Amino acid sequence: MPDRTLAPPRGTRPRNRRALILGAASDLFARRGYDQIGMTDLAEAVAIGPSALYRHFSSKQNLLREVIAGGLAPMRQLLENLNLADPSTASAQLAALCLDERHLGVLWQREARRLTPNDHALVRAEVREIGRRLTDRVRAARPELDRRTADLVTWATLAVLMSPSFHHLELPRPAYDELLAELAGLVLETPLPSAFAAPSPPPAGPVLLPASRREALLAQAVRMFAAQGFASVGIEDIGNAVGITGPSVYNHFPSKLDMLRTAFQRGTAALLMDVSTIYQTSSGAADALRRLVVSYIRFSQVHHDLIGLLITEVEHLPEVERHAARRAQHNYLTEWVHLLQLMHPELEPTTARIRVHSAVAVANDTARTPHLRHNPDVPAAIESICGRLLGLGL
């Protein structure tokens, strides 16, 4: 595939300039975040002036819309004729496309909320249509599954295929294509119950509220940041939502950034405490990894808003704290990789970590998808899928 991010010599007029701009924007938005990139940065990436960039795209928002739409279109086209009755060929086609469009997952999950409400709704509708088409293909290949079960297989498969968006691990191609195709194939063929229960009605809100005002503020902040975005929520809005008005809010948190920081620190500490407990009480590597999978699925289902913040809002932390948060996440997943390599010493470190990321992506994406999160049959099914991805007997 040609490198769409390679800037042409300054002063030239390449025929593919629009494609070069889209490629550079996709890379920069994914690596640094939409809010951290200006039109001047994008113009410099393709060696043109800002005025020349505006001849192609009227605004940064318009450019983001084109980047996401351009990434989704090939997926929709592939699904027109995808034949999952030949799973190895279908998985290879899906894997190659998703590695070619590697930034797509992070752009639609993290950056699409920066679009206008109308454009965001169109992107969501397109993603749902992609899910519907893939579910149709899953049901054609596995007619024993009802639509709810096939729908879970669809979104778990897409989570695996998009998981490279959320890390920087590299393998040479076509070896990477083969590994990602293998992982997608494992999901598509996972034995699951033929029918799932209907999703439970979503709760109207938490049944119990903390006695501590600080805890109530923190819980509300996490919900509001996840639903509306960190930048769109004021600390006074959070206080009003829990009945605390005026300057008394600041007695508990000096800023909304401190709320975000505290939420991340709490989540990381809880996960690492689980690691410590599991290491002390497990009978071996396979037992420990199995219990880590179950623990993480339960955590992600309950704390789905916090999982969403780790994906969409970590960029708002100051640089030093942002790196610390990412290092803590890396250290947590390193324990998964360590246990996986104890079970399968033949796995190369990068391959093992890619497998771990694929399993975590399945847990994250299903937890963040309301109709899956509210289905009581989904956690056990996700345990089975993650078990296959990691070579466990779940």
Q: What is the pLDDT of residues 328-384, one digit of tens each?
A: 999 999 999 999 999 999 999 999 999 999 999 999 999 999 999 999 999 999 999
Report how far residue 80's alpha carbon sits from residue 137's, in angstroms, rounded to the nearest whole number: 9
Lowest mean pLDDT among 59-73, 132-146, 189-203: 189-203
Q: Looking up tokens 């088409």, which residue turns up?
A: 133
Q: What is the DSSP letter of 355?
A: H
Whole-prediction pTM value?
A: 0.91
Q: What is the DSSP letter of 111?
A: I
| Residue-level pLDDT at 315 | 86
| Residue-level pLDDT at 208 | 79
The answer to whether residue 4 scores a pLDDT higher than 80 is: no
Report how far residue 23's alpha carbon sits from residue 41's, in angstroms, rounded to the nearest whole number: 13
Report how far residue 145's alpha carbon sits from residue 325's, in angstroms, rounded to the nearest whole number: 40
Give the pLDDT mean for 87-99. 95
Report how far residue 168's alpha carbon sits from residue 30's, in angstroms, rounded to the nearest whole number: 11
Do residues 386 and 366 touch, judged by C-beta distance below 8 A? no
354-368: pLDDT as tens digits: 999 999 999 999 999
| Residue-level pLDDT at 394 | 53
Q: Which long-range contacts (CB under 8 A, 24 or more apart) does 88-95 make?
A: 88/181, 88/185, 90/137, 90/188, 91/181, 91/182, 91/184, 91/185, 91/188, 92/177, 92/178, 92/181, 94/157, 94/161, 94/181, 94/184, 95/161, 95/177, 95/178, 95/180, 95/181, 95/184
Distances from the Cα of 114 to the Cα of 31, 38, 39, 121, 155, angstroms: 16, 14, 15, 12, 23
Nearest to 8 by CA among 28, 27, 23: 23
| Residue-level pLDDT at 1 | 42
| Residue-level pLDDT at 393 | 65
| Residue-level pLDDT at 198 | 85
| Residue-level pLDDT at 206 | 72
| Residue-level pLDDT at 145 | 95
23-34: pLDDT as tens digits: 999 999 998 889
Residue 313 burial by Cβ neighbours in a 10 Å radius (0-12, 13-18, 19+)? buried
Q: Collect all residues with Cβ–Cβ distance below 8 Å to 304 and sequence separation of at least 6.
A: 226, 367, 368, 373
Nearest to 267 by CA among 219, 229, 227, 228: 219
Residue 127's Cα: distance from chain center in Å?
14
Nearest to 153 by CA among 368, 301, 362: 362
Give the pLDDT mean for 283-296. 97
Distances from the Cα of 106 to the Cα of 132, 192, 384, angstroms: 20, 28, 25
Q: Looking up tokens 């709760």, which residue turns up?
A: 203
Which of helix, strand or coil describes residue 12? coil
| Residue-level pLDDT at 9 | 53
Give the pLDDT mean for 122-132. 95
| Residue-level pLDDT at 246 | 76
Q: What are the residue ranges of helices labelled H in the chain?
A: 17-32, 39-45, 50-56, 60-80, 87-100, 104-106, 117-141, 147-162, 175-188, 213-228, 235-241, 256-281, 285-302, 304-312, 319-343, 349-367, 370-373, 378-389
Report how far residue 245's alpha carbon sits from residue 181's, in angstroms, rounded to the nearest whole number: 53
